[in-house]
Amino acid sequence: MRKYIYVKLIGGDKKFHLCNFSLNLEVKKMDMVVIEKDRCEELAKVYSDVIETEEERNADCNLLRLATDSDKNRFEQNKDEEEKALEICKMKISKHGLPMELILAHYSLDRKKLTFLFTAENRVDFRALVRDLAATFKTRIELWQIGTRDEARLVGGLGPCGRPLCCSAFLTDFKPVTLDMARKQGLNVNPFKISGICGRLMCCLLYELPIYEEMEKNYPKIEEEVEVDGKRGKVFSISPFKKTVLVEFQDGGQREVKLEEIKRLNKNA
């Protein structure tokens, strides 16, 4: 029987990772743990119950131990050093004349690796910068170019709905989002109204779509002919959450009615 848990790095990329769990430890959600990832120790938080399965999964880290006070203190000390590293790296980027915007610096818990995340409009040749940083910090250096969605996840903030960004709160990965998904949910397809702070279409358009599709199964289709109180018309729009249908009649008038008030003239439409 194999055991796994999902964890999220504290600091760093803030992504969810599937972690091998072979030790005889009692681990529960929200526990702070130390994991091994990319040959380095990292502080992480548990975000799932222990998963026991015969299936072998592609885990990308290993659970080492529950985090101790010493681990947590070391993490706080690293945070202070990360601020200094960020400023030094910014100066060296300017020195090398590279067109990149630095977003974050992160030390692994054991300080065997120092990672810098940045954004840029095009690919950047940063090999000379890496050598310069390695000579300065005397540790393994990694530079990662990230996109605008990753930047939003790392920086965080509030979405148009007023809640914390989905990418920062719970999404495990990014999948393609299309305008057609917005159309299927009856939303205005103006990109300015359905885009997140990253400038891309909002992630909720994807994961909320199945809810709309399930709710709409009992509703007539747009343009389907229906009858309301003996008057014929066509479906103009539907509102599954309100449980109403907007009907446009032959005289041009419109009326919003409850789903049970309409008579479908062709249920197979």
pLDDT in tens, 197-254: 888 888 888 888 888 888 878 888 888 888 888 888 888 888 888 888 889 888 888 8
Q: Looking up tokens 């400023």, which residue turns up?
A: 87
Amino acid letter for position 48? S
CB 234 within 8 A of CB 247: yes
**226 in helix, strand or coil?**
strand
- How do 32-37 and 61-66 pair as beta strands? antiparallel
Q: Where in the chain is the domain with CATH 2.30.30.140?
A: 219-264
Judge contact between 32 and 45, C-beta under 8 A.
yes
Dihedrals φ, ψ of 124, to 5°? Answer: -120, 135
Residue keyed to tokens 């997140």: 196
Pick the CATH number of 72-146 from 1.10.3470, 3.30.300, 3.30.70, 1.10.1760: 3.30.300
Q: How confident is the model at residue 267 (pLDDT cuts 50, 70, 90)?
A: low
The string of pLDDT tens digits covering residues 177-194 is: 888 888 888 777 887 888
Instruction: State the average pLDDT over residues 33-45.
Output: 93
Question: pLDDT at position 90, please?
Answer: 95
CA atoms within 13 A on the CB side of 203: 20
| Mean pLDDT on 70-85 | 94
Query: What pLDDT, on the 0 to 100 scale, is given for residue 268?
Result: 56
What is the average pLDDT score of the chain? 88
Q: In the chain, list all ranges with CATH 3.30.300.
A: 72-146
212 and 240 in contact (C-beta within 8 Å)? yes
Q: Which two tokens stand for residue 151?
A: 């930047």
What's the average model confidence in pLDDT over 75-81?
A: 93
Average the pLDDT over 37-53 and give the result: 91
- CATH architecture of residue range(s) 219-264: Roll (2.30)
- Residue showing tokens 């947590």: 72
- Summarised one tens digit per residue, pLDDT across range 135-149 is 999 999 999 998 888
Mean pLDDT across the stretch 69-93? 94
Identify the band that residue 44 occupies on the pLDDT scale cut at 50, 70 and 90: very high
Q: How far apart are CA 247 and CA 150, in angstroms?
A: 43
Helix (H) or strand (E) holding 171: none
Does residue 213 or residue 134 have the better pLDDT?
134
Which pLDDT value is given to residue 68? 95
Highest mean pLDDT pick, 1-15, 38-52, 172-186: 38-52
pLDDT value at 21 more than 90? no
